[in-house]
Amino acid sequence: MTFEQLVPAPTSARWVPPTQGSFPLDDETALHAGPGTEGTARWLRSTVGAATGLRFPDGENDNGIVLRIDEGLAAEAYRLVVDGHAIRIEGGGAAGVFWGAQTFRQLLGPDAFRRAPLDPAREWTVPMVTVEDAPRFGWRGMMLDVSRHFMPKDGVLRYLDLLAAHKLNVFHFHITDDQGWRVEIKRHPKLTEVGAWRSRTRWGHRASPLWQEHPHGGYYTQDDIREIVAYAESLHITVVPEIDIPGHSQAAITAYPFLGNSDVVDTEAMTVWDSWGVSPNVLAPTEEVLRFYEGVFEEILDLFPSTFVHVGGDECPKDQWKASPTAQARIKELGVGDEDGLQSWFIRHFDRWLADRGRRLIGWDEILEGGLAEGATVSSWRGYRGGIDAAKAGHDVVMCPEQQVYLNFREDGGPDEPMPIAYVRTLEDVYRFEPVPAELTEEEAAHVIGTQANVWTEVMEHQGRVDYQVFPRLAAFSEVAWRELPAPAERDFADFERRMKAHYPRLDALGVDYRPPSGPLPRHLRPGVLGRPIEGAPPNV
C-alpha cells in the first residue's frame, strides 16, 4: 500500500529518500501522544491496534509513533512523516492529528480496517513517505434522514465511523419529519410515544401500490443522543440536528393536535404519515406553537452543542394557511403580507431565539422566501441558485444541490437498479461536482463554508440499502469536499478510479454493502417495486 492509493488524495505526498522503503511495526512499537492528542492515541489503539494485534505501549521518546500538535499548521491540517526513525503525525490541532491518523491507517492496507487480526503472526509495515495535507472546506458533511426509515443507534455510530474514515466532519441528523419523530423530548413525551410510530409504510415510490403492512418506527432517548454526540466528538465530527418547522410536521401534529391548523382540518383524526412526498399538514402560526417548539429547542440545545441548528423550512405548502381564519388573522396582525411572509416570520423568530442563546440557524433554501433572517445560513438543495443568492446577500451557504449530491438518486440507468429515483448520478458525476459556482466573486465565494451529500431514506428500508446508495459515491464526494480540485471537466477521474480499486477492499473490511462497479448483486435487487426514474441529464440550476 502506498500514498498513491489514498482516498481522498492528499495535497502533497512523496517518498522519503533515498529509497522507497518501509517502516516495520511490532509489539515494541511505542506510541507517544503529545498534549492534546490523547484522543487520537485512544482511537489508534482501539482501531488499528485491534486490527493488527499490536499493543502500541506508551512511549516517552521520538521513536515509534509520535503524535504532536504543531501550531504552525492550520487546525485541520496535518503532516505525516515516516522515515527510518519514527512515524510522526503532526496537526495544527487535535482534529488535524486525527485526520493524519486516518491517512496512516490507509497506508497500512485494508486489513487495518478490520476489528481483529486475520493473522497474528503477520508483519506490519508502513511505507516511508511524507504527506502534507489540509482540507478545502471547514464543513464537509453528510445528511442522514432517519425519519422516513429509522436507523438504530448502532447504525448511526457506524456511519460516524464511515464519515471519519473519509475525513468528513459534519453529520447532519434529520430527526423529525411527517413519517416519524425520532428524538425524546421529556416535556412533550407524546412526540415519541405517538409520533415515532406509523402503522404501515409505502413500499417504493409514493405512486407504488405496494405496502409493508407492519408498524415501523423508533427513536433515540436523550442518553442515546448524548452517546452519539460524544462519539462523534471523539471523531472530530459535529452533529447538526434538524427539527423541521413549519412544514414536514405531521408526526408532531399527530402527537399534539393543537400544533396543526385545526380550524380547517381535523387534526384529532391525523396519523403519522405512511407515504412519501410533501404533506399538506403544517404548523399553525400561533403563539402556543412557538412556545411548544421553544421548549423542544431548549432540550435540543442541551443535547447538541453544535453552533448550527437546522430548522428545515422547506416544502411548506400554504393551502391550509390560505384557508385558515386563524392564519389569515395572524398575517394581518403581524403585517407580513402573505403566506410566504408568515413562513419567514416563523424562521425569523427562531433565528432570533437561537442567536440569543449563542447558536446559528441554518435551513433549506426555501427560507429565502419572504425574506431571509439576518443571521441565517442556507443549505442550498434545489440547485445552486438559492446558495448563489444567499452568498451574494452576505449569508453563509452549505452547497448540497439535489441534481449533484443527493445520494438517494439512482447510480446507474440500468433496469436492475433497486427502486430507481430521479436522475442518474454516477460515481464520476459526483467526482465532477463543484461546490462553488464560477459566477461568485472571491468575496462571495468565501460565504460557501462547505458542502454536504444528502441521503433521504424513503426507499432505504434498512442499513444495507443505505450503504448501497451512499457508497462508493461518498468516497468521491469526500475528495471533492477535502481537496482543491481542477475544474470539473479537467479532473482525473481515471486516477480516482485507480485509487478506488484499493479503496473497495477497505470498504469490504468495514462491512459496507456498497454498489459494486459491475452493478447490483442479487441481494440488492427489488424487482417489481416502483421507483421514479427521470431520464436525461439534470438541469444545472
What are the catalytic residues?
A: 177, 248, 315
Nearest CA among 409, 455, 449 for reference residue 429: 409
303 near 227, Cβ under 8 Å? no
Cα–Cα distance for residue pair 453/477, rounded to 1 Å: 7
Cα–Cα distance for residue pair 61/268, rounded to 1 Å: 69
Nearest CA among 275, 92, 299 for reference residue 201: 275
The alpha carbons of the chain give a radius of gyration, in whole angstroms, of 24
DSSP structure string for 167-220: T--EEEEE-EETTEE-B--TT-THHHHTTTEES-EE-SSTT---EE-S-EE--B
250 near 155, Cβ under 8 Å? no
**Helix, strand or coil, per DSSP, at residue 6:** coil
Nearest CA among 520, 539, 453 for reference residue 170: 453
Q: Are strands 377-380 and 397-399 parallel, antiparallel or unpaired?
A: parallel
Cα–Cα distance for residue pair 501/296, rounded to 1 Å: 46
Cβ neighbourhood burial of 415 (10 Å; 0-12, 13-18, 19+): exposed
